[in-house]
Amino acid sequence: MCARFSLTSPIEAIRQIFGFKERPNLPPAYNIAPTNYILALRINIDDGVALSAFQAHWGLIPKWAKDGSVTAKLINARSETVDQKPSFREAFSTRRCIIPANGFFEWRKDLDGEKQPYYFQASDVSLFVFAGLWEKWTSPNGEQIESCTILTEPATEDVAPIHSRKPVTVKVDYIDEWLSGTDRQSIPSISMQERFTFYPVHKKVGNVRENNATY
């Protein structure tokens, strides 16, 4: 599961890596939580080649949803079943995105029974991307909301000491294959994903209102 992450790189640094033309107002975010609006990148709808940036509600709202109440339950999509679940099936084959991050948080129970948060960073790069899906939903009153979810999979040995699952990431060299893919064969293999290191951080990160660099 991935339920908190950070994105603190300046927008211009992110633009240099991914080449999108948009310049969204993006202050540093040290503790991004579900239902926040987050930066995501997708293939430009107009030319089908370049990347474009958009801000999406974290927690996917399927097209057929009667309201947005399901969103908090759909912040992650299990890669093992993403092509089968009605909530994700269409987006998986036609609406993929990547979600930039500098790190993510996971929790593990300590010997005293309390949950200790840990912060994960990519071993080789300071900025990486999650594999995501996006959707556009129209509310009963006509409002259009773009939303997204992050793919997860069973943890590899670099994450397993803390949590049984991990977010699916996409190395830069594989981004085109992921975004243009339509089936399970295009889910990044372990060799096309980032490796991670982790360290414990202050428990106050569990409060979604805590959003600073003092963890």
Say how many CA atoms lie within 13 Å of 182 toward its Cβ: 1
Model pLDDT, residue 97: 98
Number of domains within the chain: 1
Indicate whether 215 belongs to any domain.
Answer: no
Within a domain: residue 130?
A: yes
Q: What CATH number does the domain containing 122 carry?
A: 3.90.1680.10
| Contact residues for 4 (Cβ-Cβ < 8 A; gap 6+) | 31, 32, 33, 104, 105, 205
Question: Among all residues, which ones are annotated catalytic?
Answer: 2, 106
Residue 12 in this model has a pLDDT that exceeds 80: yes
Residue 79 in any domain: the answer is: yes
Mean pLDDT of the chain: 94
- Residue 175, pLDDT > 70, answer yes
Residue 214 lies in a domain: no
Tracing tokens 């977010």 back to the chain, one arrives at: 167
Does residue 213 lie in a domain region? no
Q: Would you place residue 212 in the very low, low, confident or very high pLDDT band (cuts 50, 70, 90)?
A: confident
Per the domain annotation, does 9 fall within a domain? yes
Q: What is the pLDDT of residues 78-96, one digit of tens each?
A: 999 999 999 999 999 999 9
Compute the distance between CA of residue 110 and CA of residue 117 in angstroms, rounded to an integer: 10
Distance from C-alpha of 154 to C-alpha of 40, rounded to nearest angstrom: 23
Q: What is the pLDDT of residues 23-70, one digit of tens each?
A: 999 999 999 999 999 999 999 877 767 899 999 999 999 999 988 888
Distance of CA 165 to CAs 129, 157, 158, 201, Å?
A: 17, 10, 11, 19
- Exposure string of 85-101, with b = 16+ CB inside 10 Å and e = fewer, is eebbbebbeebbbbbbb
Residue 124: pLDDT band (50, 70, 90) is: very high
Examine residue 89 and state whether it is found in any structural domain, yes or no. Answer: yes
Distance between CA atoms of residues 170 and 195, nearest Å:
11
Q: Which residue has the higher pLDDT, 109 or 174?
A: 174
Q: From edge to edge, which strands make up the β-sheet containing 103-109?
A: 29-32, 5-7, 103-109, 115-122, 196-200
pTM, rounded to two decimals: 0.96
Task: Report which of 101, 201, 94, 86 is spatially closest to residue 150, judged by C-alpha positions.
Answer: 101
- Say if 212 falls within a structural domain: no
Mean predicted confidence (pLDDT) in 176-180:
97
Give the residue numbers spanning the domain of 16.
Answer: 5-206
pLDDT at 48: 66
Judge whether residue 117 has pLDDT over 90. yes
CA distance 151 to 41: 15
Q: How many CB atoms lie within 10 A of CB 59?
A: 20
